[in-house]
Structure 1
Amino acid sequence: MKGNTPLRARWLPSQWSADAAGRKNMALLVQLRWIAIAGQVATILIVHYGMDIRLPFPSMLVVPCIAAAMNLGSMMILRRRTDISHAELFLALLFDVLALTTQLYLSGGATNPFISLYLVQVALGAVLLHRWSVWGIVAISSLCAAMLSLVYRPLDLSEAFEGRLFDLHIIGTWICLTMIAVLLVLFMTRITRNLQQREAYLARLRQQAAEEEHIVRMGLLASGAAHELGTPLAQLAVVLGDWRHMPEITGHPALVEEVGEMETAIKRCKAILSGILMSAGEARGEAPQITNVRDFVDAIARDWRSANPGMPLRCDFGPHDYPRIVADPVIRQAVTNLLDNAREAGATYIDMLVSRDNRWLHIAVRDNGPGFSEEMLADVGKPYRSSKGKQGGGLGLFLVVNVVRKLGGRVNASNSVEGGAMILLRLPLATLALEEGKHDV
């Protein structure tokens, strides 16, 4: 236990938000609002002082100040959170509509050529919001525009502008349309890119779900094999144990030796069955153990050397201090799969390199075999992609990638400079380490 959290709960993968694009889009709305604030202040100053058109100067400056406060609050929220909901995007656009309405009310209402800026909010809503929300922005913008044709504060124009109002309106309309075109091009392209990244993320999730479904099917087959083979193997083990104590057997050394060989074969079958079950996501009742990283890796290497005599396997831990960890059997099986793959690929020696930094525990398996082809490096982690040319091969690395990914880690495959292949497992210490205070190097 860690606090009140069960050990098994700590193996749950990190939750990645599918709506991360919402945060990026809110950041773009914040940038757009800063541009609007700067444009409003500049326009107010130019019209009031440069063109000598008397505006309600203090009242009109209140709106940019409120918008600036809104932006500062939004930036604080963006720093603390990884996603933004659809409702928050809708409220942000609604605020911009109401802020624009207030400014237009104070500066001539519907006679103000900048009333076309409503189209920017509608266009942004069409890209960012759901259907009902978009129509909500359309309805509110239309209602505000209609209200501004009836209720507004007229401009206080001097006699110098008599006869020139139409020309001023045409110039203002041209400036407004230019602003709309520039803003839409700048921000629509960036918003579209954010949405494309979100679609790519969802596509990866769908691919991951398909791979996990494949693992579930393999788990069902492995469970069936456990029920079918577990009981007969247990019965054979009991019978052989009885034979070992029978006088008819103990009096014949050759029979004793044969019984011992049969018991060894049954233990080997049980070990193979356990490996199949752990690869499929089951551990035959084995719970995660609390141990040291060095002891955990040394135990894996010792067991593998016993099963593969004559194959050199060297472990290098580097000059690091390692925390105590919760060692789930699936990690042991993942590393064992990598060692088996290296041996089957034709390696004559294998190195297991262990290191760490502030966030990750690194376990690398390096061999002197033929290495990966370019096609294999591009398809690492996909089922039935194997360099050994065997039918049904490639599942070992596929299972390793999925096990590590479920723990919140990563798997990288490469070819060593000296030749041979190297698989690097990056496991998060936040998930593995028993004591958070020992994460620092």
Structure 2
Amino acid sequence: MHYSLKLNSIPNNILLINLIKIRWLAIFGQLSAILISYYYLEIFVPIFSCLLIIVVSTFVNLISFFRKKINNYLSDKEAFYFLLFDTLQLGILLYLTGGIYNPFSLLLIAPLIISASYLPIVFSIILSLLSIIIVVLISYFYIPITWNDSFNVPDIFKYGLSLSLIISLIFIAIYVYLLASSSRNIAQALFHTRSVLANQKKLSEIGSLSAVAVHEISTPLNTIFLILNDLREEKLVKNNSEIKKEIELLKS
């Protein structure tokens, strides 16, 4: 009898609740930054448009929260759409709040890091390209923030800032993907090793059961052989060739 365990890949499903928590943190940060900038720092941004974008993100997160009760795991494609929405939402907010000059433009890296850590490389490449396109667009098309009249940023700074952000996106995405890929390979090898050990344990258990079964069967047979040997030594058996022949037949 042959026993074997099927060696499947380690599931790579992402917990929806983790992404929901990260998005709540992002929503809180975005809302705080907008309100503090507008009311405390008196940086005039289109606050109602910004709040509308944040409300949409909140609504989507609430839907995701209730969906969690049905299924708390996301497929790779669902997680990709989740991160795609976050990237687009952040891109729109950056467009409304100064574009590439907004210091929070660096947060475009966040969805990409999550994608590179958990999702297949195809999704990470798509998200990287989208992030780069957003960086290029918000470098030229954005609603400017009203700065002090004496504050002037030269174009060379804008180009350098855009280029540095693009390089950061690419470098961090590749680095995180390679690091996560290495960790996944180690985890996969460990998973396969455990599967093989479990398989060997099953085979060992079967071998032990077989040995016990053989022992249980051989014990009464030995008893029969002893009885037959004793019978063969009896005078009656020695003098009767027919009985002697029957005993020899039983022993064989």
TM range, normalised to the smaller chain?
0.5 to 0.7
For 2:141, the equivalent position in structure 1 comes to 151
Q: Secondary structure at the match of 1:383?
A: helix
Q: Are residues 112 and 207 of structure 1, via their aligned partners in 2, closer, same or farther at CA, if it must alter by over 3 Å?
A: same
Q: Are 1:109 and 1:148, in contact at CA under 8 Å, matched by a contact in 2?
A: yes
Q: Secondary structure at the match of 1:149?
A: helix
For 1:101, the equivalent position in structure 2 comes to 91
Q: Are residues 395 and 64 of structure 1, via their aligned partners in 2, closer, same or farther at CA, if it must alter by over 3 Å?
A: farther
Distance in structure 1 (CA, Å) of the matches to 2:72 and 2:211: 34
1:204-232 deviation per Cα after TM superposition (whole angstroms, max 9, x unaligned): 79727973xx8xxxxxxxxxxxxxxxxxx
Distance in structure 1 (CA, Å) of the matches to 2:86 and 2:71: 22
**Unaligned segments of structure 1, at least 5 residues:** 1-15, 174-183, 215-380, 387-391, 398-441
- Of 30, 42, 62, which aligns to 2:52? 62
**1:383 matches 2:198:** no
- Of 192, 203, 219, which aligns to 2:191? 203
Q: Are residues 201 and 30 of structure 1, via their aligned partners in 2, closer, same or farther at CA, if it must alter by over 3 Å?
A: farther
Q: Are residues 43 and 92 of structure 1, via their aligned partners in 2, closer, same or farther at CA, if it must alter by over 3 Å?
A: same
Q: Secondary structure at the match of 2:32?
A: helix
Q: Secondary structure at the match of 1:393?
A: helix
1:1-37 deviation per Cα after TM superposition (whole angstroms, max 9, x unaligned): xxxxxxxxxxxxxxx9963x5242x322211110110
For 2:129, the equivalent position in structure 1 comes to 139
Distance in structure 1 (CA, Å) of the matches to 2:65 and 2:23: 12
Distance in structure 1 (CA, Å) of the matches to 2:209 and 2:68: 42
Q: Secondary structure at the match of 1:384?
A: helix
Q: Are 2:9 and 2:188, in contact at CA under 8 Å, matched by a contact in 1?
A: no
TM-score (norm 1): 0.36
For 2:41, the equivalent position in structure 1 comes to 51
Opposite residue 122 of structure 2, the aligned amino acid is W
Distance in structure 1 (CA, Å) of the matches to 2:128 and 2:42: 35
Q: Are residues 395 and 132 of structure 1, via their aligned partners in 2, closer, same or farther at CA, if it must alter by over 3 Å?
A: farther
Q: Are 1:383 and 1:395, in contact at CA under 8 Å, matched by a contact in 2?
A: no
Q: Are residues 206 and 96 of structure 1, via their aligned partners in 2, closer, same or farther at CA, if it must alter by over 3 Å?
A: same
1:229-283 deviation per Cα after TM superposition (whole angstroms, max 9, x unaligned): xxxxxxxxxxxxxxxxxxxxxxxxxxxxxxxxxxxxxxxxxxxxxxxxxxxxxxx
Opposite residue 88 of structure 1, the aligned amino acid is E
Q: Secondary structure at the match of 1:80?
A: coil
Distance in structure 1 (CA, Å) of the matches to 2:211 and 2:66: 45
The structure showing larger relative contact order (alpha-carbon pairs under 8 Å, at least 6 residues apart) is 2
Select the structure of larger CA radius of gyration.
2
**1:30 matches 2:20:** yes
**1:71 matches 2:30:** no
Opposite residue 109 of structure 1, the aligned amino acid is G
Distance in structure 2 (CA, Å) of the matches to 1:79 and 1:122: 26
Distance in structure 2 (CA, Å) of the matches to 1:395 and 1:32: 55
1:376-435 deviation per Cα after TM superposition (whole angstroms, max 9, x unaligned): xxxxx643259xxxxx315699xxxxxxxxxxxxxxxxxxxxxxxxxxxxxxxxxxxxxx
Opposite residue 43 of structure 1, the aligned amino acid is A
Q: Are 1:17 and 1:83, in contact at CA under 8 Å, matched by a contact in 2?
A: no
Distance in structure 1 (CA, Å) of the matches to 2:64 and 2:152: 39
Deviation at 1:69, TM superposition (A): 1.2
Determine what percentage of the aligned residue pairs are the same residue. Answer: 27
Q: Are residues 131 and 137 of structure 1, via their aligned partners in 2, closer, same or farther at CA, if it must alter by over 3 Å?
A: same
Q: Are 1:53 and 1:155, in contact at CA under 8 Å, matched by a contact in 2?
A: yes
Distance in structure 1 (CA, Å) of the matches to 2:35 and 2:95: 17
| Equivalent residues in 2 for 1:302-341, closer than 5 Å | none
Q: Secondary structure at the match of 2:38?
A: helix
Question: Alignment length, in residue pairs?
Answer: 182
**Unaligned segments of structure 2, at least 5 residues:** 1-7, 162-171, 213-252
| Equivalent residues in 2 for 1:31-430, closer than 5 Å | 31-157=21-147, 161-163=148-150, 199=187, 203=191, 207=195, 211=199, 382-384=202-204, 392-394=207-209
Q: Are residues 99 and 395 of structure 1, via their aligned partners in 2, closer, same or farther at CA, if it must alter by over 3 Å?
A: farther
Q: Are 1:110 and 1:149, in contact at CA under 8 Å, matched by a contact in 2?
A: yes
For 2:4, the equivalent position in structure 1 comes to none
Structure with more helix by fraction:
2
Q: Are residues 204 and 396 of structure 1, via their aligned partners in 2, closer, same or farther at CA, if it must alter by over 3 Å?
A: farther
Q: Are 1:44 and 1:57, in contact at CA under 8 Å, matched by a contact in 2?
A: yes
Q: Are residues 110 and 82 of structure 1, via their aligned partners in 2, closer, same or farther at CA, if it must alter by over 3 Å?
A: closer
Distance in structure 2 (CA, Å) of the matches to 1:135 and 1:110: 22
Q: Are 1:17 and 1:82, in contact at CA under 8 Å, matched by a contact in 2?
A: no
Distance in structure 1 (CA, Å) of the matches to 2:116 and 2:131: 13
